[in-house]
Structure formats: C-alpha cells, structure tokens
Amino acid sequence: MEHPVVVMGVAGSGKSSLAAALALARAESARLIEGDAHHSPANLDKMRRGIALTDADRAGWLDALAAQLRAHPRATVLACSALKRAYRERLRAAAPGLRFVYLEIDPASARARIEARREAHFFSPALVDSQFAALESPVGEPGVLRVDALAPLAQLQQQVGAWLRGTVEAAQ
C-alpha cells in the first residue's frame, strides 16, 4: 500500500472491521490505527453518556491521529469517523496522498448495529442522529472511494484493494 488510507463513516458503519481487514491483507508492512483508541477519557465519557462531541472536543483527537499519520506516512490504515471536511483536511495535511474509503450507511442500519454491540462498545445509540447531522459527505473530494457499508466484508475488502491498486475508479 503506497498511500495511507482512512476508513471513515458514522458510528456503526463498520470502520474498524474494514480497516482491520485491509491492514491484515497488507501483511506485516501495514499499520492499523484505531481512531477510537486515541480519544481522551473525557471524550469517551461524554459518548458513553450520549453527549455528542463538539469540534473543540475532537481537536486533540484529530491532532493525535495526524501525529500518527505523520509518524507512519506509508502503509497505514486508520479507522476514523472523519465526519467533516475540515477534519479530513487536517488529516490530509499530515499525510500527503491520503485516501479515504467512505462507508455509506443509512441511519436505521447504523442504529441497529450500534444497538447490537451496546454491551461491548462505549458509543451510545443516542448519538446516531448527531453523527448524521455532523456528516459532510466526502463524495467528490479527491482520493475518496464510496462503498456500501452493508456489503459483505470480503466484498468491501476486495473492492477497496482494487481501488488502492489503481484498478478501479472511485465511486462518485
């Protein structure tokens, strides 16, 4: 993998699963960065309580993720919501050539997935609407591939792999 890639989308879209599959497919040379692991304890607490994060809350988190991308500029897969264009631009500034895989999902499906993992994950189902309210679609931005978050993981992995190899154009 020549360029780093961010697997992005709202909570429940499957970012972590796809990012892990992509990193694993790239063997030992790929580094997986789980964006959730870089949230502050205060942010995690807010999300557990169903309080949406603000841009100010996310600033330190984005700084930490940008630092990770700068430290590992190649062969990196980052799972990160990257909901707003300003967030994506911050990450792009840290890693020239950064690409984004946008896992597109509808609110009902995202909510169902979050409800199903409620006991194993910090994210409150009460925050689904705020995720969609904050989302600024990356479709049309350079270096973005839109995929159907409800497609089977193996199919997504194959589609993204082909795109990263340059054999498939980004879906617009």
pLDDT tens per residue across span 103-122: 999 999 999 988 877 665 56
pLDDT of residue 125: 72
Residue closest to 145 by CA, chosen among 158, 134, 135, 132: 158
User: What pLDDT is recorded for position 98?
Assistant: 94
- Report, as ranges of residue numbers, the positions in the chain whose pLDDT lies below 50: 171-172
Largest CA-CA distance found in the chain, in angstroms, rounded? 44
- With contact defined as beta carbons under 8 Å apart, do 4 and 74 qualify? yes
Helices (H), the chain: 15-25, 41-48, 55-71, 85-94, 107-116, 128-134, 153-164
Q: Specify the pTM.
A: 0.89
Taking the CA atoms of the chain, what radius of gyration do you get in angstroms? Answer: 15
Query: How many angstroms separate the CA atoms of 107 and 58, rounded?
Result: 22
| SS3 category, 102 | strand
Q: At what angle do helices 41-48 and 55-71 cross, to 10 degrees?
A: 130
Residue 121: the pLDDT is 57
Two structure tokens written together for 28: 């030992």
- The answer regarding whether domain 5-164 maps to CATH 3.30.565.10 reads no
The pLDDT assigned to 82 comes to: 96
Residue 140 in contact with residue 170, Cβ under 8 Å?
Answer: no
Give me the pLDDT at residue 172, please.
42
Q: Which residue has the tokens 């979050």?
A: 114
Retrieve residue 73's tokens. 């500029």
Domain chopping of the chain, boundaries: 5-164
User: Helix-strand-coil percent breakdown of the chain, rounded to 5?
Assistant: 50, 15, 35
